[in-house]
Copies of this chain bind each other. A is one copy, B any other.
Amino acid sequence: MNIALAQINVHVGNFAANLAKMLEYTQRAKAQGADIVVFPELATVGYPPRDFLEFDDFIDKAEEVILELAKAADGIAIIVGSVSRNPVVEGKDLYNSAYFLANQRVQKVQHKTLLPTYDIFDEYRYFEPAHEWGVVRYRDKTIAMVVCEDSWNVGNENPLYKINPMDEMMVHQPDLIINLSASPFAYNHAANRIEVMQANCRRYNLPLYYANHVGAQTEVLFDGGSLVLHADGTVIDELPYFKEALRIYNTEEVAQKELVSGEEAKHKMTLIHDAIVMGIQNYFGKLGFKKAILGLSGGIDSALVAVLAARALGPDNVRCILMPSQHSSDHSVNDARALAENLGTQYDIVPIESIYNSYMDVLKPHFWAKPEGLAEENLQARARGMLLMAFSNKFGHILLNTSNKSEMAVGYGTLYGDMCGGLSVIGDVYKTECFELARYINKDGEVIPENIITKPPSAELKPDQFDSDSLPPYDQLDAVLYQYIEQHQSPQDIIALGFDEALVKRTLRLVNINEFKRYQTAPVLRVSKKSFGMGRRMPIVAKYLN
């Protein structure tokens, strides 16, 4: 039997486009001799569809896509993820299901059992878990269909669920497992994914065909990396990362381990770079926008965003605005200009001093009795944000946010100022990782001027200001943030790792009291296991570690 894995990039709610894409892949798979083509989880509606699932009309449209796809299941079978309605009145109204389409009909619908409800996942918000388990018999093979998380409770030291659906399906003696997934990217996720799928092969002594999404749905990035594994866990093939793909596998060849391919090398910075570029591309492409704008300060964060945007959209579609103030150093403007010239992007210089002064004139009667301070610093950042938004409104650019994860964590940024933007490009990249990413970008020649990478970070909102005046050194800060944000460690645990107590307590307090700022920022392209945004849900008005 020949099984085609279709690793596709769909668009949430864009039923016509998703159907057209699946029809095209089905025809291609059929032309290449596939017996079955496998599409990812919820491929009809895109992942995650979120509360659109609460609209009957949305579910109707997904059902229409399934009926249209079924017509194309002629001489080829189609396995595809979609929603289905729960006919039983008790329980949630929907299932997250794997459909088996053949002979132009829906032959089998197997519902997902394990519903991830953590981090970015909200599946139990919408879906009833499966209470029955079956298999599909097709062309002399017995196929067990599972959906994503259904395979993730195996080989887990602290299993989240009490049952494993494959345990139930084994009574039907399947010949192979097909897993439809929507398993999001994180820079350290791929290795884990392979291990977990290998654990499934070994536990059930079955080969596994795994079709994953690729592409970005707002902040959630899917890397693809679909898999074919031998029953002993050997990786027969891994599909490319960050690209659509269609590949066909003969089950006998898989059984005999013909054509075992090496896995792709997965370097952290390569993955983060490619993931972000895809994230920008898809954000713009799926919204129907082409052009980005950003403020280029001469610092490393905006430099990275400029490079990544130019790579994602083409330099002609990126406009950089340099907005020097009285506190900007000459090198800032020169470095920013050099970068824009390296990239070949348009740039404009728009000084903010006159705008700042006009604010101060108007505010003087109210502010004169108080010393200068944060309000004046923030005014500069906000004047820049407003100018960028004016360009955005005038010319139809989307403003890219340039905040990094470290400053978002501790609130070292100005709400409605440098925290403006439609998409946070590097908001899941710590400052220390920003330096690594810059080095990675420069690995084959200078793209980002060296001075941007080596000079001490500064917000340049007052004379001789450096980040190190207000914040701990970034290597320490980032290490503490990582322990708290990704690892959920307590202050005591982090101090026990050797960090200074005052530093730890101050850092955790800053993270917690700045939730109100993060609440109002753009979606953040998620590249780690714990990004700010929909995967990290914190109360604002809380009193814990602060």
Contact = CB atoms under 8 A, between A and B. Distances in A.
Contact of A358 (B348, B354, B543): B354
Interface in A137-190: 157-162
A472 to B, nearest CB: 21
A58 interface: yes
A158 B93 contact: yes
A13 B544 contact: yes
A495 to B, nearest CB: 12
Number of identical protomers: 2
Contacts of A492: 57
A268 interface: no
Nearest to A288: B543
Contacts of A387: 359, 362-363
Interface stretch (A65-73, A244-252, A403-411, A533-541): A533-541
A73 to B, nearest CB: 25
Contact of A375 (B46, B282, B352, B390): B390
Interface string A353-393: 01101110111001100100111001100110111011101
Interface in A405-419: 415-416
A52 B359 CA distance: 40
Given A355-B358, A362-B350, A541 B283 contact: yes
A383 B383 CA distance: 9
A355 B159 CA distance: 59
A497 interface: no
Chain A contact patch, size range: 35 or more
A449 interface: no
B491 A57 contact: yes
A491 to B, nearest CB: 7
Contact of A390 (B359, B491, B521): B359
A494 B373 CA distance: 53
A6 interface: no
Given A12-B543, A394-B370, A55 B490 contact: yes
Contacts of A362: 350-352, 354-355, 387
Contacts of A266: none
A199 to B, nearest CB: 16
Interface stretch (A118-126, A200-208, A436-444): A118-126
Given A378-B390, A519-B523, A158 B89 contact: yes
A57 B366 contact: no
A326 interface: no
Interface string A278-318: 00001100110000000000000000000000000000000
A541 B91 contact: no
B11 A543 contact: yes
A420 interface: yes
A389 B415 contact: yes
Which of A50, A361, A362: most chain B CB closer than 10 A? A362
Nearest to A395: B370
13 contacts: A12-B539, A17-B543, A50-B539, A51-B536, A52-B542, A57-B491, A57-B492, A90-B161, A117-B117, A283-B541, A286-B541, A362-B387, A422-B516
